[in-house]
Amino acid sequence: MVRRYGVTVSFASDGLWRALLLHEDFSYVFFMHSTKNRYSMKEPFIKIAYADDHDVVRGGLVAILNQQANMKVIAEASNGRHLLDRIKQLGDVPDVAILDIDMPEMNGYETVLEMRRKYPKVRSIAYSFYENEFNIIKMIKNGAVGYLTKGNSSLDDIFTAVNEVHINGHYYSDSVSEETFKKAKNTTVPDISDRELEFLHHCCEGLSNKQIAEKMNVNFRSVENYYNALSKKLGIKTRIGIVAFILKSGIISLNT
């Protein structure tokens, strides 16, 4: 058992992440797979920065990473902007950054770009629930050297990824292989804004422009502008064609 930042961390053998809210003291109990880090501490510990807006996940993982003999989380935050601010305040540059994608104020795509610009020696790992090719390729193109999915990655995967990117400069896995990284280098990813993505989600739901305007709390003209901008970016003239493209490319899943 480990107690850190108000989070009680425990271990179980099934390797699943679970959280149980204990109503008596409002603390969270994590049950995670206990694995020993196979990398010995031959060098000073690896300094880690971690941004994730899921407070419970972040708090639990920070506690676990700090239990590793060769790792130390020196900065953590709920979004990329705050993480970069904390690194600046510390005056100490991390070796590895672990970045969620879907965060407020500054998301993972923006954070990895800014991290690469300000701190080019930092090696960034994406850590997200997103598993589609669009998100993976965009993070890689923006500078991530490893990609972990929250739904499928064990603690051992996380330890291995941190060590591998620190030692070798990259981390490959069965789901995001070396071939995926090579493909990403030669793939053009359309620059789609968050609002345009929201518009695309509603298109996939079969909503009319009027219904989308109501859902997004914007006027009808704004919805038309989203459509026209996407049509230009993707080089596709029809709404049906745009929906077919984004579903096929994995930019949006029918399950999301």
- According to the model, what pLDDT value does residue 38 have? 52
Residue ranges of the domains in the chain?
Answer: 37-185, 194-249
For the stretch 118-151, pLDDT in tens is 999 999 999 998 887 778 888 998 999 999 999 8
194-249 CATH: 1.10.10.10
For the stretch 199-215, pLDDT in tens is 988 998 889 999 999 99
Q: What does the alpha-carbon distance between residue 226 and residue 216 come to, in Å, rounded to a whole number?
A: 11
* Cβ atoms 15, 73 nearer than 8 A: no
Q: And the tokens for 233?
A: 């970016």
For the stretch 44-58, pLDDT in tens is 899 999 999 999 999
Assigned fold of 37-185: Rossmann fold (3.40.50)
Q: Which residue has the higher pLDDT, 194 or 219?
A: 219
Give ∠ CA 19-29-21 in degrees, rounded to 5. 60
Is residue 97 classed exposed, middle or buried when 0-12, 13-18 and 19+ CB atoms within 10 A define those classes?
Answer: buried
- Per-residue pLDDT band for 249 (boundaries 50, 70, 90) equals low
Count of H-run helices and E-run strands, the chain = 10, 9
